[in-house]
């Protein structure tokens, strides 16, 4: 564990999920993510005609980030992946990353959406197929985030039940009304807020212990 000494430094997190500042009904993003199903976790994610990239990250940059804490440490990987694929993950660039890298990006996406607007925002913005129809929960369990894995499975049951209603086009006002119409998601939102720091710490430690799966660390 090259960077473990500093990874678990304390930090304050946002403990309040907002009403969502997301862009609503992202049809192009929804289509792209549906095309990814199912992605193969912890296996070769290479697609025909796509070249899996060797992701390199500076050793000095990682050490600097690790000294700042686990969030900054993971963000180095996430930012590097997005740089390599040219922005957001989609069917056209997925083959550039391996299964572990895709899993880490999926967690970053999940955390960003749920911490901003809860499970309802995550689903409404079209990420349901990517998170719930793929073995994301299993990947999180294998990476040490056991309670989070169980939470994702709970979310999948609600997603399967309400996805038709939650993914319909709607106005901002109608979107806000979804939070009152589907209070079933409130407990899941609260659970994630409570465990987010622990989940992020578990993933940071896993990445630290298996660096070769997530990037090639180079000294400059």
Domains and CATH numbers, the chain: 25-34+53-218 (1.20.1420.60)
pLDDT at position 8: 55
pLDDT surpassing 70 at residue 189: yes
Buried b / exposed e over 182-213, threshold 16 CB at 10 Å, is: beebeebbebbbeebbebbbbbbbbbbeebee
CB 217 within 8 A of CB 55: no
pLDDT surpassing 80 at residue 126: yes
pLDDT at position 4: 55
Cβ of 44: how many Cβ atoms within 10 Å? 10
pLDDT at position 91: 82
End-to-end CA distance of the chain: 20
pLDDT surpassing 60 at residue 144: yes
pLDDT surpassing 70 at residue 72: yes
pLDDT surpassing 80 at residue 20: no
pLDDT at position 32: 41
Distance CA 64, CA 39 (A): 32
Lookup: tokens for 198:
């622990």
pLDDT at position 203: 97
Mean pLDDT confidence for 56-62: 94
Lookup: tokens for 58:
């500076």
Mean pLDDT over the full length of the chain:
84
Give Cα separations from 106 to 5, 68, 101, 180, 183 (angstroms): 26, 23, 9, 27, 25
- In percent, the amount of the chain with pLDDT more than 70 equals 77
Task: In the chain, count H helices and then E strands.
Answer: 11, 2
Which region among 36-40, 108-112, 127-131, 140-144 has the lowest average model confidence (pLDDT)? 36-40
- Which pLDDT tens digit goes with each residue over 36-57? 433 344 444 444 456 788 999 9
Helix axes 146-166, 99-124, angle to 10 degrees: 40
pLDDT surpassing 70 at residue 183: yes
Mean pLDDT confidence for 159-171: 96
Distance CA 180, CA 63 (A): 44
Q: Which helix (H) or strand (E) holds 190?
A: helix 186-209
Give Cα separations from 3 to 109, 187, 192, 207, 220 (angstroms): 24, 34, 26, 10, 17
Q: Is 216 helix (H, G, I), strand (E, B) or coil?
A: strand
pLDDT at position 2: 63
Helix residue ranges per DSSP H, 19-124? 27-34, 59-68, 70-85, 99-124
Distance CA 152, CA 39 (A): 16
pLDDT surpassing 60 at residue 212: yes
CB 36 within 8 A of CB 97: no
Name which residue leads in pLDDT, 38 or 60: 60
């Amino acid at each position: 564990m090259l960077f473990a000494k500093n990874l678990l430094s304390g930090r304050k997190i946002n403990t309040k999920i907002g009403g969502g500042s997301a862009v609503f009904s992202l049809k192009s993003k929804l289509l792209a993510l549906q095309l990814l199903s199912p992605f193969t976790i912890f296996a070769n994610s290479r697609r025909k005609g796509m070249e899996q990239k060797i992701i390199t990250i500076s050793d000095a940059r990682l050490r600097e980030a690790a000294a700042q804490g686990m969030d900054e440490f993971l963000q180095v990987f996430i930012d590097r992946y997005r740089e390599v694929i040219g922005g957001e993950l989609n069917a056209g660039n997925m083959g550039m990353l391996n299964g572990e890298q895709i899993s880490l990006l999926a967690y970053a996406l999940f955390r960003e959406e749920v911490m901003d607007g809860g499970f309802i925002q995550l689903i409404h913005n079209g990420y349901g197929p990517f998170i719930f129809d793929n073995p994301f929960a299993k990947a999180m369990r294998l990476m040490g985030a056991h309670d989070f894995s169980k939470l994702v499975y709970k979310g999948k049951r609600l997603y399967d039940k309400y996805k038709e209603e939650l993914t319909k086009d709607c106005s901002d006002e109608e979107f806000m009304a979804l939070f009152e119409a589907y209070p079933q998601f409130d407990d899941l939102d609260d659970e994630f807020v409570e465990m987010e720091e622990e989940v992020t710490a578990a993933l940071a430690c896993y990445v630290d212990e298996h660096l070769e799966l997530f990037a090639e660390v180079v000294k400059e």
